[in-house]
Structure 1
Amino acid sequence: MPRLARSGYALCLIVATVAATLIATAPAASAVPARANGHRVTVMVHGFDREADISCSGAWNSAESLLNANGWGDVVTFGYYNKATNCDLRLRGTTDTRIQEVGRQFAWTVYYLYSSRDVAIDVVTHSMGGLVAKAAIEGVNRYGVGKPAPDLSGLTVNQDDLGATTWPRDWPPFLYIEDMVTFATPHQGIGSAVVTACAITHEQCSDMRPGSGFISWLGKQPLSQIGTDYTFLASRHDDTVSADSATNKRTAHHWALYGANADGGTLTHTSIRNTSTGDWQASYGGEFSDEGEGTYPAPLPRMMDGLYDQQAH
């Protein structure tokens, strides 16, 4: 069973402040930053919302509060719907904006604000947000690596309307995402009748069907140019995403599948991203983790461990 991280020191990183409009020159990276267990900038990406009006602060309040209380001082929320609210960074898309395109926009945002400045980040996601973040890495690996760093001098970036940015038409040449924790992400898609019906009217639901072109393109755990350590957290009682899909058939570097707590409580598709207390039973394992079944940390403390102290590769 993985040990819980303790806040030993704070790694202070100066990053762009959230403002209506930011104009800056993104310098070309000189070298891949060293991997370092600690408190990196953490970007949080929400999941699918049929009404496209999710609140980023509402979705991540519990997780962000816990991170802040334990030494993470730089937590940033990324939203991708035009009606999303309280997001530090927002792409004004709709439920018909394909996940790959959201991933491309996310890739350029991370590249511009962080990777091009030699700053590595960590990412926390819920549900479809994990597909968005993985798509960013996969797209860079397929279509960006090896290309010269673009000249972004004089680029105007409105952090509340990222889609208005005139990014280059392809993908960034590299990304530095060191750790990624996903809550209830459908890595292999969602096969329920609800999603099948949703796919008729919402392209993002179509992308999330098992065997879709997007799911086939995405692969398993794409690695960014710093290497990316994955932790997949899932619940046996999630009525939206299956255990196999949320753990990617237990192929992650670290995965956990939660059962009930000592009081018989269970984790839903949504509550798994908000739960920080309780004595939980879970099965757990992974490429870089011991395998077993028994008492396990609650999801949010396990998230902190996934961001703080994992095996580099």
Structure 2
Amino acid sequence: MNLRSSLTAVVAGLVLTLMATTTASAIPSPARADAVGVEAAPARADSNKRPVFLIKGYTPGDKCGSKWNAAVRLLKSEGWKTKRLHRVGFYATDDSKCDVRIDNGTATAETSLKVLGRELAKKIYDMYSSKGIPVDIVGHSMGGLIARAAIAGYQKGEPGWPKKLLVEDVVTLGTPHRGVHRPACFTLQCIEMNPFSGFRNWLGADLPQADGGTDWTLVSSRADWSVPPAFAMPTDIGAQHLVLYSEIGSSLGHSELRTQATGVFPLNYTNNGGASWGYLERGSAPLRVTKNALYWSSRW
């Protein structure tokens, strides 16, 4: 992804901070579709033509569609077609602006994230993968775990998952990949986000791959007190790209990772899973970083 600069200075303090809780490892090679006996996925290419599934976080009782207004406006301005920008709803209270519903839109906070992941995978297959069309996913907070579950169940060959899944890029914004504990929240979805839950164990240690390979970008902020960077962007789970916004001068909290489309912010970034880091004093806003991650096929 092109973040306006190719600065490559190693940020030693950042690396030490992240390595206090995670250990960098080699990025796994993308899965080969022909190795598992299915039709090869289309070749990667720079594109604003791929459908994008936008998955919100833990919001039982809230409306759904408006949460992605800023993202949809930005992507439309950059050439994405409205009919291919899908806001995913999964609670009974979600409004009609969420044009794609999984679990029949009747889920509650007691519906397992594994179930929602399975239903998302089936929806992507029915709408696009069955036609040979790859898609991209953006997940905010818990939404990133639903995206991860969709691909993990497919990669594992779990019962009920589709026979083919084409997901080219996934961007997660403040997603608790390492889990997170939400005080005074005891619903099943909160329990499954716990670092030691059975769901977390089922997800596996590494980010999963769909047919043809999936490129992962994890975005976090030091000002996110809901899901701190050590939990949102570990360097040892196979993410190709990591972006970390500085606390000082950014004020990008948990919700702002999903809504901030303009402005410049200091950030650290890596395009090799954490082996080396660069720094930008005037980096792009989170949604523009997201747009770049969805568009570029190789440059990031």
Q: Is the 1:258–1:281 contact (alpha carbons within 8 Å) kept by the matching residues of 2?
A: yes
Which of the residues 218, 224, 243 maps onto 1:238?
224
Is 1:97 matched with 2:111?
yes
List alignment gaps of at least 5 residues for structure 2.
Answer: 5-37
5+ unaligned residues in a row in structure 1: which ranges?
5-28, 145-168
Match of 2:265 in 1: 280
The answer to whether the aligner puts 1:198 opposite 2:207 as a matched pair is no
Q: 1:60 pairs with 64, 68, 82, which one?
A: 68
Q: Is the 8 A contact 1:186 1:246 kept in 2?
A: yes
- Within 5 A, what are the aligned runs for 1:217-256? 217-219=202-204, 220-249=206-235, 251=237, 252-256=239-243
Question: By how many angstroms is 1:294 displaced?
Answer: 2.8
Higher relative contact order (CA 8 A, sep 6+): 2
Query: Distance in 2 between the 1:294 and 1:3 partners?
Result: 8
Deviation by residue 1:108-136 (Cα, 9 ceiling, x = unmatched) = 00011110110100111100000001100
In structure 2, the CA distance between the partners of 1:288 and 1:235, relative to structure 1 (3 Å rule), is: closer
**Range that drifts further, 99-108 or 288-297:** 288-297
The equivalent of 2:51 in structure 1 is: 41
Kindly indicate whether residue 88 of structure 2 is the aligned counterpart of residue 78 of structure 1: yes
- In the alignment, the residues of structure 1 paired with residue 221 and residue 174 of structure 2 have an alpha-carbon distance, to the nearest angstrom, of 7
Q: Which residue pairs with 1:172 in the alignment? A: 162
Q: Which residue of 1 aligns with 2:9?
A: none
- Maintained 8 Å contact 2:56/2:139: yes
| CA distance 1:140–1:256, change in 2 (3 Å) | same
TM-score, structure 2 normalization: 0.80
- 1:32 lines up with 2:41 in the alignment: yes
Post-superposition CA distance 1:164-197 (Å, at most 9, x none):
xxxxx62111210000111110111113xxx142
Call closer, same or farther: CA 1:288–1:238 in 2, change over 3 Å: closer
Aligned partner of 2:295 in structure 1 is 308
2-side partners of 1:131 and 1:190: how far apart?
12
Structure 1 moving runs of 4+ over 3 Å: 1-4
Determine the C-alpha separation between the residues in 1 that align with 2:216 and 2:121.
17
Label 1:33 to 1:102 Cα distance change in 2 as closer, same or farther (>3 A): same
Q: Which amino acid aligns with 1:275?
A: Q
- Partner letter of residue 65 of structure 1? R
Is the contact made by 2:134 and 2:167 (CA closer than 8 Å) also made in structure 1?
A: yes
Aligned mates of 2:183, 2:156 — CA distance in 1: 29
Match of 1:299 in 2: 286
SS at match of 1:231: strand
TM-score, structure 1 length as denominator? 0.77
**Contact 1:260–1:280 (8 Å) recurs in 2:** no
SS at match of 2:184: helix
Q: Which residue is 1:2 aligned to?
A: 2
Q: Percent identity?
A: 36
* RMSD, matched Cα: 2.1
Match of 2:172 in 1: 182
Residue 22 (structure 2) aligns with: none
Aligned residue for 2:195?
Answer: 210
CA distance in 1, matches of 2:292, 2:236: 18
